[in-house]
Structure 1
Amino acid sequence: MSPSRPKSNYFVSNSSLSSLEYAVEREMTSSSLARHRRWISQFKVAYSQTKPFPSPPSISSTAGRHNADSDVPSGPPPIRVSLTGSAGRGVFATRKIGAGDLIHTAKPLVAHPLLSSVHHVCNFCLRKLQRNANANADAHRATFCCKECERHSKVFHDVEMQADWSDFDKNCRERGLKYPLLVKRLACMVISGAISSDLLDILQPSSLSPHMVTELKEGYSLLRKALVKSSITDEQLLFLTQEWYTGVLARIRINAFRIELVGGYEDLLSLAAACVEAEAAVGNAVYMLPSFYNHNCDPNTHIIWINNANARLKALRDVEPDEELRICYIDASMDHEARQTLLYQGFGFICNCTRCSSGD
């Protein structure tokens, strides 16, 4: 699924965060089958020229051509992050990249399952759990796909389990909000000492309207209330101010990716059908390097998730040295007017890519 994040400042007046999220997702989902069919045809051509992706690597970012039987990358990522002429930071190729090449992978800085999927996917990596694997699980406890994920989840899980999140989750569920869940998890990671509270400061923030900031106060209040009622000390909560909550949510709002699992290369057509029924979406995540990719309505790069939240950036066509790598934030099969409207209303910018400039 295309990421729900822009690269430029984003401002929406007279509109709530929840209604905007719904509008963007509705537009994305309505014609997702057509988009995936279009992308699948591109992917088949690219994939036929290269080897399958390997299993997820053990470090946060790897790249280059991989041996199909090895997790070891052949070299550093063939990319650099530099300033663009009009869209802030961007990602550029440092050498020729072939169609179908795996450019790099990335593990999320923070991820959280959808509330509807919380007992159907791993609470750490978002991998789908085996059917009935958690049938007897405590409904109030998180589930994991393996002992390794359970061990890695210590960076947030022990803190999360100390608090009662029923009011917080209810507010998110009733208003259709997902990003406050990522803020909650990030806060628990800070409390556990795993990360610094300024982890996301490097990412581009959105500009929130006064109306939206006012609405965010309720989410902040519910988050702080849940943590204060637990055994978390006042000293541990010094960072948790309304300014911190708003700033983090503003960055998450435009840098979060909606995770839709392919499940394997043989299952791409099933993915297209599942997307229409929203069965493929399992959660949301924020990454560092993938957040620097800018948008294009005719992208040369695509991001996919195979079995979990580890992101894979793959070239859709040949890319020349120093060419900027771009992904598509929305449904590329929409017509010109629809794309422009969605990009401006949802992401705060007017697209001037070659395709849009030609009126296609």
Structure 2
Amino acid sequence: MSSSSSSTNGQRFKYTTTTSNNEMAVLENIYKRIIGQHHDKVMIKDTGTSHGRGLFTKVSVAAGSTIITEQPFVSHPSFDQASTNSVCSHCLTNLPTPITNATTTGNNKHQHVHCPNCRQNYCSVNCKNTAETQYHLACCTSIDTVRKYCQAEKRRFPLLAAKIVARILLGYHFNKTMEHWENLQVLSFAKKDPPMEWKDDYLAFQRAMLTKESNKKKFNYEWFVRVMQILYINTVGIQVGATTPTAATPDSGIGLYYLASFINHSCEPNCFLAFPNDHTLNLVALKPLKQGDELTISYGDPNKDYVERQSHLFDNYGFSCQCPKCLLDLPSKRPKKPLAADK
């Protein structure tokens, strides 16, 4: 997501005084592709502040209205959800217990099915087919090795990286395009030195996902670090069933959403993310908005005190917030009490 202030985040592409007209045209085309069907409702533009780019409404919006909906580029359930097969592996909707598996040849799109090779469970034939064409065909059995590694290390980002490389490979296979990688490159990324464990993560990722030498060169450690830096500040918690502002927990799923990645943070947000049915993101207005307003959400629990909010934002997103609420809550520097006079 975009930074909110005093950020250590970076951007691969951004408007500068030296940006050529051709580069700006390429960037605008990528923005149009990311915005897609919502082109008449929102726009991506530079905020003119240290926040960088942001998402702005092009229309007036009533409180409680859904401004946009978006499918994730990649998503994954929590480790507990995955280990208990309690949610659909693709859309993260809850599955009944016990799961009644059906054949994949049935005409009922609401049957619960599983992959015969890796046993991933899906809520319907439609979800299974969507998963296959988007990423599963490229990572069916191989991703299980990454999954076991991630469960042991309690880190989900390598799993999302595996799905990302699968989507890129299948996108090129079916459509002969690298649009997914182009979209990823315009997202903000954390300018943090890669921790040592990322090398271990990459080795597990490489052994499972990159069997061809050509792919090892394309998706090398430098590529992996960039993807991890993108995931570090752009993933959101997915609490399926949430229709009011809800803070993510370790039991939440996670996902990367292209358009939502441009929404800046505020501890006094005017929007929130809802997931009423599945991993489909709904951006909902908290208050009436007028045309041209920047859309903001809270990256954490805005009801926490100043120190807790700042610690969460810096630890998880790499920036210190200077929104109006934080400036108001900023602990004042009180003068020291004078020392008692010597007697």
Smaller-chain TM-score bracket: 0.7 to 0.9
CA–CA distance in 2 between the matches of 1:109 and 1:101? Answer: 24
SS of match in other structure, 1:205: strand
The one-letter code sitting in structure 2 at the alignment partner of 1:100 is G
- Code of the aligned partner of 2:273: I
Q: Which amino acid aligns with 1:186?
A: I
Task: Look up the SS of the partner of 1:345 in the other structure.
Answer: helix
Deviation at 1:10, TM superposition (A): 4.8
Contact 2:241 2:277 in 1 (8 A): yes
> Which 10-residue stretch deviates more, 250-259 or 153-162?
153-162
Secondary structure of the residue aligned to 2:296 is strand
Q: 1:233 to 1:278 in 2, by over 3 A?
A: closer
Kept in 2: contact 1:61–1:105 (CA 8 A)? no
1:126-179: CA deviation from partner (whole Å, max 9, x where unpaired) = 11112211579679421111111111112221222242633x333322322111
Report if the CA contact (8 A) 1:61-1:107 is conserved.
Answer: no
What is the total number of aligned residue pairs between the two structures?
A: 283
Secondary structure of the structure 1 residue equivalent to 2:184: coil
The DSSP-based 3-state class of the residue aligned with 1:222 is helix
Counterpart contact for 1:61–1:104, Cα < 8 Å = no
Task: State the SS of the aligned residue for 1:358.
Answer: helix
- Of 222, 244, 267, which aligns to 1:297? 267
**How many angstroms apart in 1 are the aligned matches of 2:273 and 2:313?**
18
Q: Which residue of 2 aligns with 1:175?
A: 153
1:351 and 2:321 are equivalent in the alignment: yes
Q: Which runs of 5+ in 1 are unaligned?
A: 12-58, 64-75
- Normalised to the residue count of structure 1, the TM-score between the two structures is 0.70
What's the secondary structure of 2:231's corresponding residue?
helix
19, 42, 45: which one pairs with 1:79? 42
CA shift, 1:209, in A, is 2.1
Query: How do residues 120-199 of structure 1 correspond to structure 2 at under 5 angstroms?
Result: 120-133=86-99, 140-154=118-132, 155-163=134-142, 165-166=144-145, 168-194=146-172, 196=178, 197-199=181-183
Matched with 2:277 is 307
Equivalent runs, 1:259-338 vs 2, <5 Å = 259-262=238-241, 281=252, 283-338=253-308
1:216 to 198, 223, 231: 198
Instruction: Spell out, residue by residue over 1:231-267, the C-alpha distance to the aligned partner (whole angstroms, 9 max, x if none).
Output: x53334442201111111110111011111126x6xx
TM-score by length of 2: 0.74
Q: Partner amino acid for 1:244?
A: W
Q: How does 1:12-161 map to 2 (within 5 A)?
A: 76-84=39-47, 85-118=49-82, 119-133=85-99, 140-154=118-132, 155-161=134-140
Query: CA 1:305–1:6 in 2, change beyond 3 Å: closer, same or farther?
Result: farther
User: Within 1, Cα distance between the matches of 2:248 and 2:51?
Assistant: 31
The unaligned stretches of length 5 or more in structure 2 are 11-33, 103-113, 331-343
Identical counterparts, % of pairs = 25
Change (3 A) 1:201 1:354: same
CA distance in 1, matches of 2:268, 2:168: 39
Q: Which has the higher contact order (CA 8 A, sep 6+)?
A: 1
1:6 and 1:329 in contact (8 A); partners too: no
Structure 1 CA distance, aligned partners of 2:283 and 2:325?
A: 22
Amino acid in structure 1 at the alignment position of 2:282 = R
Query: 2:42 is aligned with what amino acid?
Result: I
